[in-house]
Amino acid sequence: MSKRLYIKTYGCQMNVYDSTRMADLLAPLGYRLVTASDEADLVILNTCHIREKAAEKVYSELGRLRVLKTARAETGGRMVVAVGGCVAQAEGAEILRRAPHVDIVFGPQTYHRLPDLVARVLLVPAAVAAKGLLDTEFPAETKFDLLPETASPQGVAAILSVQEGCDKFCSFCVVPYTRGAEYSRPAGDVLREARDLVAAGAREITLLGQNVNAYHGAAAGNKSAREWGLGRLIQALAEIPGLDRLRYTTSHPGDVDDALVAAHRDVPQLMPFLHLPVQSGSDRVLAAMNRKHTADAYRRLIERFRTARADMAFSSDFIVGHPDESEVDFAATLRLVGDIGFAQAFSFKYSPRPGTPAAQASQVAEELKAARLAVLQEMLATQQRRFNDSCRGRILPVLFDRPGRHSGQLIGRSPYLQSVHVEAPDGHLGTLVPVRILAAGQNSVAGTLEMRADAVEASA
């Protein structure tokens, strides 16, 4: 009999990818995805621990699930509650203590064991008060070897995890502790999964990794050949017929090599848009963050990409109020933003994470962080508007991936990851079509279908 599975995903795209793989793992047990927790037999919260707020949300959702689980039991049914992802890894048994109704706590590196964990929970009758199962070790085996070979179709724009974990240990970041050591999947496995995704309808693939440009996977086909870097992997992926667009995220400035820059010059399928987090424009703060590069090195890197491909646009991440950040440091961040000109960016107040070095250092006052964030966000918003405005009059290839809010409207992505709203027939869903951009807003642009087949002036 089919059982109902609800997965709530928090945080980054890596978690989104992991959630799709959890559903793949549980399908042979008869679980099919549903869209609400109320009706589910198994609820999984796939959590994020990157900032304090993200972790807090999990406990409030668990409170809501306790009510649902009790109500289900009162009618003779059963709801199994599982917590995975980075909060599960970081807090482990603490989750079972604070939320005893949780049946399973598992980490990002043990989710391939979910079918076994769920089966073990179901062996014990619901009426018997059993202690929740905890599986948050970093196993010797890699989960990628144990996941189902065929990934579920993801639609026209798919994500594919190629690298996981991180050895950089930035002062503020929990990822090295929750995701573990850096690991790259063999290139052959990545190519196989990409071919499957394309066969199932994907025309765009975003390669994922916590530090994706540290990728160093075993070479495809020839075991004695040298490992492949990300640039080489992109070249090989671009040869898959029907794969029109490639992206990758998230990169570290310190791991950009010549082959990656060259891929932006040589591979037309690689989109001219790069998310390259810099975090701060102050060398003093960058050193305290253990980022291992300077602000000028970042400026030079951007120039290298722009030389390789003139229409490159950039996005970044910023943290304001890292311990000890002064007004002078913050002014250096604003200067860097002014020098580069970002097409979009994410910015956050520093949030102390237990167990990380920065959490022990002297903290910047909350009001100061908030004031600096407001100034930075205003500047970044102005740059985003300016970039969107600069696209007016251009004809850009747009990959339509979802219906719009009004009937007769579709939404797609430009090469620069802008949402593009267009009046277009449903038949255009899943296709790559030239669009003349006519209007620009803060977070999206709008245009009309361009009928001339030879019209696209940027990359396809």
Residue 306 binding result from ligand SAM, ligand SF4, none, given CB thresholds of 5 to 8 Å by partner type: none
Question: Which strands, in side-by-side order, build the sheet including 3-9?
Answer: 31-33, 3-9, 42-47, 80-84, 104-106, 133-135
Q: Return the residue of 12, 147, 271, 302 that touches ligand SAM, per CB under 6 A.
A: 12
Stretch that binds ligand SF4, among 4-12, 135-143, 165-173, 426-434 (CB under 6 A): 165-173
The distance of closest approach from Cβ of residue 345 to ligand SAM in the complex, given in angstroms and rounded to an integer, is 10
**Contact status: 344 vs ligand SAM (CB under 6 A):** no
Q: How far apart (Å, rounded) are the C-alpha atoms in residues 266 and 135? A: 45
**Contact status: 279 vs ligand SAM (CB under 6 A):** yes
Q: Return the residue of 165, 229, 277, 281 that touches ligand SAM, per CB under 6 A.
A: 277
**Contact status: 346 vs ligand SF4 (CB under 6 A):** no
Q: Return the residue of 211, 251, 316, 344 that touches ligand SF4, per CB under 6 A.
A: 211
**Contact status: 173 vs ligand SAM (CB under 6 A):** yes
Cα torsion angle, 384, 385, 390, 393, sign: positive
**Contact status: 176 vs ligand SF4 (CB under 6 A):** yes
The distance of closest approach from Cβ of residue 299 to ligand SAM in the complex, given in angstroms and rounded to an integer, is 17
If the CB atoms of residues 20 and 210 are measured against ligand SF4, the closer one turns out to be 210
Q: Return the residue of 250, 269, 388, 414 that touches ligand SAM, per CB under 6 A.
A: 250
> How many amino acids of this chain bind ligand SF4 (CB under 6 A)?
10
Q: Return the residue of 175, 207, 237, 288 that touches ligand SF4, per CB under 6 A.
A: 175
If the CB atoms of residues 39 and 167 are measured against ligand SF4, the closer one turns out to be 167
If the CB atoms of residues 6 and 17 are measured against ligand SAM, the closer one turns out to be 17
Q: Return the residue of 170, 270, 337, 435 that touches ligand SF4, per CB under 6 A.
A: 170
Q: Return the residue of 206, 210, 316, 414 that touches ligand SF4, per CB under 6 A.
A: 210
The distance of closest approach from Cβ of residue 48 to ligand SF4 in the complex, given in angstroms and rounded to an integer, is 13
**Contact status: 108 vs ligand SF4 (CB under 6 A):** no
Residue 246 binding result from ligand SAM, ligand SF4, none, given CB thresholds of 5 to 8 Å by partner type: none
If the CB atoms of residues 58 and 243 are measured against ligand SAM, the closer one turns out to be 58
Residue 176 binding result from ligand SF4, ligand SAM, none, given CB thresholds of 5 to 8 Å by partner type: ligand SF4
If the CB atoms of residues 84 and 209 are measured against ligand SF4, the closer one turns out to be 209
Which residues lie near ligand SAM (CB under 6 A)? 12, 50-51, 172-173, 175, 210-211, 250, 252, 277, 279, 317, 319, 348, 350-351, 353
Where do contacts with ligand SF4 occur on this chain (CB under 6 A)? 166, 168-170, 173, 175-176, 210-211, 252
